[in-house]
A and B are shown apart, each in its own frame.
Chain A
Amino acid sequence: MLAQDSSPPPHGAGLPPPGDAGLPLLAAADLQDHLMVAQNDLERLQRLLTDACDQLLVHFYGASGELRTLLAQGAHGAVDGPAAGLPGALEAAQLHKAMEHMAGAITAMQFQDMASQLVAHTSRRLRNCADRLAAQAMGDDDEDGSAVVEEMPLRPNPVTQDEMDAGSVELF
């Protein structure tokens, strides 16, 4: 049940107490609703990214496997003499080039790992804001008397990159 008491909030650090100086209940509920919708959308984005990356990787490894097979057949043909349908020296060079392009794509394909860390961090922040709003506006309505508030991430977002260029290397 919604309570409008004037007792200090359990986890409302930095927020004024509910009531006269606090956010009106309806406005708080509306804001909380928006935050929860944004958080749900982020979770859906996370699933989309994971699924896209899984599919990319399946096709990537499939194509790499085919290229390797062709290269191996070419090497076999070079030993036994050129055979119909097997790549010659020129084709082998092109296949090696294709393999290099595939390897180059690996840098960009790491987007899912980085994006998922960003999404998870932002999602926790949004959840914390929504929970604090609820605790602030509605007071303690939990069974044990204290509202459950998602912890704010203790550290800044670990992902500071804003492009997919290869990162730095430092040997100690």
Chain B
Amino acid sequence: MHSILAVDDSASMRQMVSFTLKNAGFNVVEAVDGQDAYEKANSRDFNLVLTDQNMPRMDGISLTKKLRENPKFKSTPILILTTESSDQMKQAGRAAGATGWLVKPFDPAKLVEVIGKVIR
């Protein structure tokens, strides 16, 4: 079973992402911000990271940069799921090494479809 690290500082968003992904057959581990996610990512293996952008302590783009610096996460797909939709932010995400940019609110079926396309 594929494992996904779901990162969001909003408890309701974490619950909805987990609900959607668990129903689709994924194993989901939740993290409350980028720092928490980085620590959890280093403690076990994940097939994909799905992260929010605006979070306390460490945002999604910083988390992406930090994960990409580690050879362990060189090819792990990282999707940023955020309310931010500006081209400038998307480019920053791309430059940091993100695999894709999803704008909230997400459609459950579409989210599962996109994850299915990129997960390893």
Contacts and interface: CB of A to CB of B under 8 A. Distances in A.
Q: Is chain B a partner of chain A in the same complex?
A: yes
A169 B82 CA distance: 11
Contacts of A171: 99-100, 114, 117-118
Nearest to B105: A110
Contact of A54 (B12, B84, B94, B99): B12
B100 A158 contact: no
Interface string B82-120: 111110001001100011111111111110001001100
A145 interface: no
B20 A167 contact: no
B107 A166 contact: yes
B42 interface: no
6 contacts: A53-B12, A112-B10, A161-B104, A168-B103, A170-B90, A172-B93
Interface of A: 50, 53-54, 57, 61, 64, 103-104, 106-114, 116-117, 158-161, 164-172
Given A160-B83, A170-B102, 6 more contacts: A53-B12, A103-B109, A109-B16, A161-B83, A166-B105, A172-B99
